[in-house]
Chain A
Amino acid sequence: MAAENKNARVIVVGGGLAGLAACVRLAEQGVSVDCFSIVPVKRSHSVCAQGGINATNEIARQQGFSEWMHMDETLFGGDFLADQPPVYEMTHWAPRIIDLLDRMGVPFNRTPEGQRDLRLFGGSLFKRTHFSGATTGQQLMYALDEQVRRYEAEGKVAKYESWEFLWPITRGEGAERRCVGIVAQDLRTMQIRAFPAEAVIMATGGCGLIFGKSTNSVMCTGGAAARCYQAGAWYANGEMIQVHPTAIPGADKCRLMSESARGEGGRVWVPAKKGDTRDPRQIPENERYYLLEERYPKYGNLVPRDIASREIFSVCVDDHMGVDGRNQVYLDLSFKDRDELDRKLGGILEIYEKFAGEDPHDVPMKIFPAVHYTMGGLWTTFTPQERPADPRQDLNCGRDTVTGMKFGAANTMMTNITGLYAFGECNFAYHGATRLGANALLSCIFDGLFSGQGVVNYVRTEAEPVENVHQSLYDEAVQQEHFKTQRLIETAEAGHNDPATNPYQIALEMGDEMTAACTVVKTGPRMEQAMTRLRELQDRYQNVRLADGGMWTNQNLSFTRALGDMLILAEAILQGSINREESRGSHYRPDFPDRDDQRFHKTTIAKFNAKTGRPDFDYRDVVTGLVKLRPRDYGKTSSEPKKSKEPATV
């Protein structure tokens, strides 16, 4: 081990919850941080998270809940695809994270006595979700943004906002390969530069834009993760994409209607009589079909998202019972007390009213599922640590020892490339085959605070100081990116809108095809067809043309570059879905309707093959040892979709 490096620098790519939490941890520990973000960090996609953040508290404990149960729900919700020790550690750290956010000043909703209030969320029968109105993500983001600003004012964090990550810089081969910096581009001046660092943390979120319209923000292309994948980082469980059951379809995106709407009592229904076009307020209770409550009496409207999405999809697409004959169902809060709704859900009700033009205090909302979250992501590792079970946190776990992660281990959430880490949504580690509601904010902040300590230790004691890296390595990396940029810029022709080679048209077709073939319901033949289409789109991309050849704030270039990366990542997602011949969590294959633990209780690992330009696949056993696998049905009453109560008349 070398002498401690006191001048170590870490690059954090992404300024959402995971990136900012990492900045805070690193800066507090005296490590210099350079934070890169396409948007000003305060405008990162984490602000869109609404419902809350899960953590056990004392009341839940007294009611028989515990961190162990939070872990169990998370593993069960994810259909056991997540490695178990990271989930153990995350759920057991959760209460500390809430306390810390509370100290940072997050305005969590309060009980009359002044305690932090809790709400019910999907996949649990206990209240364990802390919240701040219905804009919890925004509120947590702001608290971390404020702390980072404080470190920025003290000169401990440097922000590079409006800079785009282009490529990780590495040296060495195979197991010796280390990440020693990045190439990035200023999206205003278009300057391309290399930035050396002892370690790089990717905290770049999900890839919803591959599916066209999703609940994601416009920068969630997955481009940054896709670049790391092309540079040799493994991409795990790509096929696990979450479709959120309740969103408002729009022309530019699908706007999320938080699960907290159901957590606070919201009910999903359709008219029991097909073709019933009456005003929903005129439809009496006994002529409504509360599909989730009838099919899942135990969890009701709070079944996990993949299940709710499938049921809504099936009622609309298979049974043709959607409201007004369209693909939409009611999400009803109109029977609730107006003031309480405003205090707890004001933020989302305002969004519905602004974008749908109706007041959800008075009428049921019309919603439909939309692509929402990327459970898969860059493959990462960890150091397990066995310890005695804690009688409080591990209540009724029935064992003497448990296995979590070792705090401060240098490889915590490190990719297969030494010194390159993945935190937050772009990390595959915590959510398995479905993420439970209100666990995303938790996993992002947990990565920053917990896994961030591993990075501190890595750069201090294990990483080779970047002064030892020859400048030519950085110069070559910049040259490479200049070359790629130039290739695109040279295609430019003002006014270009030929659909065949227009990047926006190719993106549109990719999104439509991926949504149709690879979301709620996936079948082998349909996905093979989509693969043929995807290859055609990849071919068309080879001749893509820009409409802007300028070198000043060229957004056309940035979009088109990301499109190329999306087309490559889409293939890993699609091929991973074709290969996984089973149904597990969000990955539902009617042609293989059962979970097949024998063949597929394994992590999918896609490795980009630079020679073929396609993924090679490898499968690794999931790390278990804490919880035994069991069937995941959430007490469904019947596998047959229930038919309307009265015969169809229209």
Chain B
Amino acid sequence: MTTATDTRTRTIKIKIKRCDGPGKPAYWQTFSVPVKRGEGANVISCLQYIAANPITDGGVATTPVAWKSGCLEEVCGACTMVINGKVRQSCSCLMDSACPNEGDTLTLEPMRKFPVIRDLFVDRTRLFESLKRVKAWVPIDNLWEQGAGPKETPDEQQTRYKLSECMSCGCCMDACPQFHQIADSAKWQTAFIGAAPISQVRYFNLHKTGATLKADRLSEMASQGGVSDCGNAQNCVKHCPKSIPLTESIAAVGRATTIHAIKQFFTGK
């Protein structure tokens, strides 16, 4: 077994942008990691190796790298980071395709639009706050027994299901030129909200009970930082790991917001 693995093992380099805490300077460290071909090695297994062997390529003893992860199967969104310049989940970045050869280097950086807590671990509170901003829920009356929810056709279900796969990873925000990092949480309310919450506006407005808050959501979309701040770069849809039709959502919400604004103008409501 050991002799056979030798031919399948290669050493790759993982170059990591580190930071000891908020306000501290960033610095780079490189680690050598042995990887076996055909065993499903990914960024996570490399980071696990580094945690157990926190010694840099230059032989410097250091601390384990901090990062977040959860499900490791691309449904929780936790392990999102910037890999070779592109934002994505690190669990699904497999080393046999990303670093196929001896000595190949992979670069890891934290997401760029959210404040770094430490190393690759960022604070995405703003993303969850934006879901409050658009009232991303169905306002049911209570939990008591009241029969089923509204019926829907298979097509309606398929449309909503696709939108509901959004795992709040933040890739669409990281890749968006209109979405900027803002440290002061008081300013989040009027800054561009990003693609994911706009798509959630569409998702909840498509549900019959959810639509009872449609006017509130569209008013938010019409306000500063709403859907009109989208610059149509279309990076969001290219970076969404779940292939959610984000630009379709933005277009749909944009139209609905315009109609809502005209209605408001004439009715004064």
Residues of A within 8 A of B (CB): 24-25, 28, 39-40, 42-45, 47-48, 96, 98-100, 102-105, 107-112, 114-116, 132-133, 135, 138-139, 142-143, 146-147, 149-150, 152-153, 188, 217-219, 248-253, 255-256, 343, 347, 351, 354-357, 449, 493-497, 502, 504-505, 547-548, 550, 552-553, 555-556, 559
Q: Which A-chain residue is minimally distant from B166 (CB atoms)?
A: A142
Partner of A28, one of B64, B72, B142: B142
Which residues of chain A are within 8 angstroms of B64 by Cβ–Cβ distance? 547-548, 555-556
Q: Which B-chain residue is minimally distant from A139 (CB atoms)?
A: B164
Known contacts being A252-B91, A547-B64, is A48 close to B140, with CB within 8 Å? no
Contact assessment for B54 and A496 in the assembled complex, using a CB-CB cutoff below 8 Å: yes
Which of B102-110, B116-124, B232-240, B254-262 has 4 or more CB atoms under 8 Å from chain A? B116-124
Cα A355 to Cα B39 with chains together (Å) = 10
Cα A463 to Cα B245 with chains together (Å) = 50
Contact assessment for B138 and A251 in the assembled complex, using a CB-CB cutoff below 8 Å: no
Interface majority SS on B: helix, strand, loop or mixed?
Answer: loop
Known contacts being A40-B128, A252-B48, A552-B21, is A107 close to B157, with CB within 8 Å? yes
Which residues of chain A are within 8 angstroms of B161 by Cβ–Cβ distance? 107, 109, 132-133, 139
Which residues of chain B are within 8 angstroms of A100 by Cβ–Cβ distance? 140, 143, 145
Cα A43 to Cα B124 with chains together (Å) = 12
Contact assessment for A110 and B154 in the assembled complex, using a CB-CB cutoff below 8 Å: yes
Is B149's beta carbon under 8 Å from chain A?
A: yes
Which residues of chain B are within 8 angstroms of A347 by Cβ–Cβ distance? 75, 165
Known contacts being A24-B143, A43-B78, A555-B64, is A149 close to B132, with CB within 8 Å? yes
Contact assessment for B154 and A111 in the assembled complex, using a CB-CB cutoff below 8 Å: yes
Contact assessment for B41 and A251 in the assembled complex, using a CB-CB cutoff below 8 Å: yes
Contact assessment for A110 and B153 in the assembled complex, using a CB-CB cutoff below 8 Å: yes
| Interface hits, B146-164 → A, CB 8 Å | 146-149, 151-154, 156-158, 160-161, 164
Partner of B149, one of A39, A102, A142: A102
Q: Which B-chain residue is minimally distant from A152 (CB atoms)?
A: B132
- Give me 15 other A-B pairs in contact (C-beta within 8 A), A105-B204, A114-B151, A547-B62 excluded: A39-B68, A40-B168, A47-B75, A48-B76, A103-B149, A105-B149, A105-B207, A138-B167, A149-B137, A249-B40, A250-B39, A251-B40, A252-B48, A354-B74, A494-B63
Residues of B within 8 A of A (CB): 20-21, 36, 39-42, 44-45, 48, 51-55, 60-64, 66, 68-78, 91-92, 94, 97, 117-118, 121, 123-124, 128, 131-132, 135-140, 142-143, 145-149, 151-154, 156-158, 160-161, 164-165, 167-168, 204, 207, 209-210
Cα A204 to Cα B71 with chains together (Å) = 15
Cα A494 to Cα B154 with chains together (Å) = 57
Which residues of chain A are within 8 angstroms of B39 by Cβ–Cβ distance? 250-251
Known contacts being A217-B76, A495-B55, A556-B63, is A355 close to B131, with CB within 8 Å? no
Which of B48, B131, B147, B148 has the largest number of chain A CB atoms within 10 A? B148
Contact assessment for B40 and A552 in the assembled complex, using a CB-CB cutoff below 8 Å: no
Cα A255 to Cα B143 with chains together (Å) = 34
Shortest CB-to-CB span from B98 to chain A, Å, is 12
Shortest CB-to-CB span from A503 to chain B, Å, is 8
Contact assessment for A103 and B44 in the assembled complex, using a CB-CB cutoff below 8 Å: no
Contact assessment for B73 and A43 in the assembled complex, using a CB-CB cutoff below 8 Å: no
Contact assessment for A150 and B137 in the assembled complex, using a CB-CB cutoff below 8 Å: yes
Cα A39 to Cα B60 with chains together (Å) = 31
Which residues of chain A are within 8 angstroms of B41 by Cβ–Cβ distance? 251
Shortest CB-to-CB span from A417 to chain B, Å, is 27
Which residues of chain A are within 8 angstroms of B72 by Cβ–Cβ distance? 217-218, 250, 252-253, 255
- Lowest 3 A-B CB distances belong to which pairs? A495-B61, A504-B52, A102-B149
Which of B64, B152, B207 has the largest number of chain A CB atoms within 10 A? B64
Which residues of chain A are within 8 angstroms of B124 by Cβ–Cβ distance? 40
Contact assessment for B70 and A494 in the assembled complex, using a CB-CB cutoff below 8 Å: no
Contact assessment for A104 and B128 in the assembled complex, using a CB-CB cutoff below 8 Å: no
Which residues of chain A are within 8 angstroms of B97 by Cβ–Cβ distance? 357
Which residues of chain B are within 8 angstroms of A99 by Cβ–Cβ distance? 145-149
Which residues of chain B are within 8 angstroms of A103 by Cβ–Cβ distance? 138, 140, 146, 148-149, 209
Cα A133 to Cα B44 with chains together (Å) = 27
Contact assessment for B153 and A218 in the assembled complex, using a CB-CB cutoff below 8 Å: no
Contact assessment for A355 and B136 in the assembled complex, using a CB-CB cutoff below 8 Å: no
Known contacts being A99-B148, A104-B138, A105-B204, is A504 close to B51, with CB within 8 Å? yes
Shortest CB-to-CB span from B55 to chain A, Å, is 5
Contact assessment for A355 and B40 in the assembled complex, using a CB-CB cutoff below 8 Å: yes
Contact assessment for A252 and B45 in the assembled complex, using a CB-CB cutoff below 8 Å: yes
Shortest CB-to-CB span from B132 to chain A, Å, is 5
Q: Which A-chain residue is minimally distant from B141 (CB atoms)?
A: A103
Which residues of chain A are within 8 angstroms of B75 by Cβ–Cβ distance? 47-48, 135, 138, 347, 351
Contact assessment for B164 and A107 in the assembled complex, using a CB-CB cutoff below 8 Å: yes
Q: Which B-chain residue is minimally distant from A503 (CB atoms)?
A: B52
Shortest CB-to-CB span from A333 to chain B, Å, is 18
Cα A138 to Cα B167 with chains together (Å) = 9
Q: Which A-chain residue is minimally distant from B55 (CB atoms)?
A: A495
Known contacts being A108-B157, A152-B132, is A548 close to B63, with CB within 8 Å? yes
Contact assessment for A354 and B92 in the assembled complex, using a CB-CB cutoff below 8 Å: yes
Which residues of chain B are within 8 angstroms of A48 by Cβ–Cβ distance? 71, 73, 75-76
Partner of B138, one of A40, A146, A552: A146
Which residues of chain B are within 8 angstroms of A248 by Cβ–Cβ distance? 40
Which of A48, A98, A133, A252 has the largest number of chain B CB atoms within 10 A? A252
Which residues of chain B are within 8 angstroms of A109 by Cβ–Cβ distance? 154, 157, 161
Which residues of chain A are within 8 angstroms of B61 by Cβ–Cβ distance? 493-496, 547
Known contacts being A99-B146, A107-B164, A135-B165, is A355 close to B70, with CB within 8 Å? no
Cα A525 to Cα B40 with chains together (Å) = 33
Which residues of chain A are within 8 angstroms of B73 by Cβ–Cβ distance? 48, 253, 255-256, 351, 355
Cα A29 to Cα B149 with chains together (Å) = 22
Cα A495 to Cα B164 with chains together (Å) = 43
Cα A252 to Cα B128 with chains together (Å) = 28
Contact assessment for B164 and A142 in the assembled complex, using a CB-CB cutoff below 8 Å: yes
Which residues of chain A are within 8 angstroms of B145 by Cβ–Cβ distance? 96, 99-100
Q: Which B-chain residue is minimally distant from A104 (CB atoms)?
A: B138
Cα A35 to Cα B136 with chains together (Å) = 20
Shortest CB-to-CB span from B156 to chain A, Å, is 8
Cα A264 to Cα B74 with chains together (Å) = 23
Cα A39 to Cα B123 with chains together (Å) = 11
Which residues of chain B are within 8 angstroms of A343 by Cβ–Cβ distance? 154, 158
Cα A356 to Cα B146 with chains together (Å) = 44
Which residues of chain B are within 8 angstroms of A133 by Cβ–Cβ distance? 161
Which residues of chain A are within 8 angstroms of B146 by Cβ–Cβ distance? 99, 103
Cα A556 to Cα B53 with chains together (Å) = 12
Contact assessment for A45 and B149 in the assembled complex, using a CB-CB cutoff below 8 Å: no
Cα A252 to Cα B71 with chains together (Å) = 11
Which residues of chain B are within 8 angstroms of A548 by Cβ–Cβ distance? 54, 63-64
